[in-house]
Chains A and B, each alone.
Chain A
């Protein structure tokens, strides 16, 4: 941090793509490497954002099927792998219906916002040591700020649909996301306080060492509690079951997305799944050591694990957290609206403040570092 104080916004620090491809471009085209590297990283990110939901939807259906002792999609491709691409293709060619009396501009603007929000957050996820499109010093603030865009999209979609179910779903969803954002931010603040940095890459690098140095295990018990709190509040933030009252099928026929069809609906749906990946990736970054290989202190396994590249570990950890989200979905029954608000304002928020205080206490006593 300190040696860069004179020019903290140098391109090397802002765009730390220093992997093989980035360096090759740098040697081939020294002048325009800055632009080419940015373009390459944005294109690969775009590819990832468009391919991930296809895989995640398949995974969700398979996991759901396993929990219910059935097979899930089996026909299209090997074990139904191509099922969600077929579904996506169908959605693209479907007609987009606009309800009568809907606000055209807002109706078509709304699905774009959550999709672009997920794309923007993906840009600062540290996939590997130098595989990150940008690493702003205030990465955590950026994540929190951008997530406001998805709330915005959902609120606008609900209003523009000119449908009472949509509006109800949007209002519920907005209230829920704003409330749970508080505890999500407080959990992030705990880690930022302990690491002393708000840059996602620095947070990962603060967990170097063995598995015991990951933030989930580091504070005596508190890290685990913080991780659980993050999981609960991020599930609520993602509007996933058991907190899916905003699109409760049985009461609201699908909530804010009721009137959407075709590609507009696909954008909401895809954004939801990429959002799940992003929030799992942030959980891996904050608590599970991000791209660092798990070093368990056994002499012959540790070098073996260290050989495996960092992005593999990142994806493994992220998909583990995603599996946890899917597990939640088929384990807990849905909460009522008042129970949801009770959980956030009367249980999670005071618990979070206590956690923050005890984290500060441990830090002052020097018990963690």
Chain B
């Protein structure tokens, strides 16, 4: 049952991702991207990573894709400029070599030295709960409190930058 579901979801994910990057209409591509994010969240739930799945839905579908959509909707002439077809076949093939090489080497190394985490029974049995993630993030010993706080400073910088950009120019035009 679980394996069957995984193969369905994985096939959907691959197909939707292919559609997302290859379809000429940008908006349809964005919709395919949303669907692929949802399928990814479903895969996370199958791995019992509940928090990661919820964060995936909240951040990507609720946040990032919405902003992408607003930008797409503000542009005109969607899908008319078909620059994707102007790329020559040789160019495509040469660029495909890089991901293929990466995939083959990853597959080779994973087969050669299987990760110990994947094999151990204890890691399979106990999924990570939201509480675990929270405690690990904020604990001062063996936790990630310093990266967490540094990231919050980074976000603060981004927020201040957005305010500075959006603020009206005092010396410039007053009526805008």
Instruction: Name the residue on B nearest A4 (C-beta).
Output: B129
Given A103-B27, A109-B31, A152-B34, are A141 and B58 also a contact pair (CB < 8 Å)? yes
B129, A155: Cβ atoms closer than 8 Å: no
- Which residues of A in the span 41-92 have a Cβ within 8 Å of any Cβ on B? none
Q: Which A residues are in CB contact (< 8 Å) with B66?
A: 148, 151-152, 155, 174, 178
Q: Is the interface of B mostly helix, strand, loop or mixed?
A: helix
Interface size class of B (residues with CB under 8 A): 20 to 34
Given A9-B48, A147-B62, are A171 and B34 also a contact pair (CB < 8 Å)? no
Q: Which A residues are in CB contact (< 8 Å) with B51?
A: 137-138, 141
Interface size class of A (residues with CB under 8 A): 20 to 34
Q: Is the interface of A mostly helix, strand, loop or mixed?
A: helix
**Shortest beta-carbon distance, B165 to chain A, in Å?**
14
**Shortest beta-carbon distance, B59 to chain A, in Å?**
8
**B63 interfacial contact with A, CB 8 Å:** yes
B69, A156: Cβ atoms closer than 8 Å: yes
Instruction: Name the residue on B nearest A113 (C-beta).
Output: B34
Chain B proximity mask over A248-277: 1 for CB below 8 Å, otherwise 0: 000000000000000000000000000000
Instruction: Name the residue on A nearest B133 (C-beta).
Output: A138
Chain B proximity mask over A95-139: 1 for CB below 8 Å, otherwise 0: 000000001011001000000000000000000000000001110
Can you list 21 contacts pairing A with B, beta carbon distance less than 8 Å?
Answer: A8-B127, A8-B129, A9-B48, A103-B25, A103-B27, A105-B28, A106-B27, A106-B28, A137-B50, A137-B51, A138-B54, A138-B130, A142-B57, A144-B62, A145-B61, A147-B62, A152-B34, A152-B69, A155-B69, A159-B27, A178-B66
What 7 pairs between A and B have smallest CB-CB spacing? A148-B62, A145-B58, A145-B57, A141-B54, A138-B54, A159-B73, A137-B130
Q: Residues of A with Cβ closer than 8 Å to B?
A: 1, 5-9, 103, 105-106, 109, 136-138, 141-142, 144-149, 151-152, 155-156, 158-159, 167, 170-171, 174, 178, 181, 198
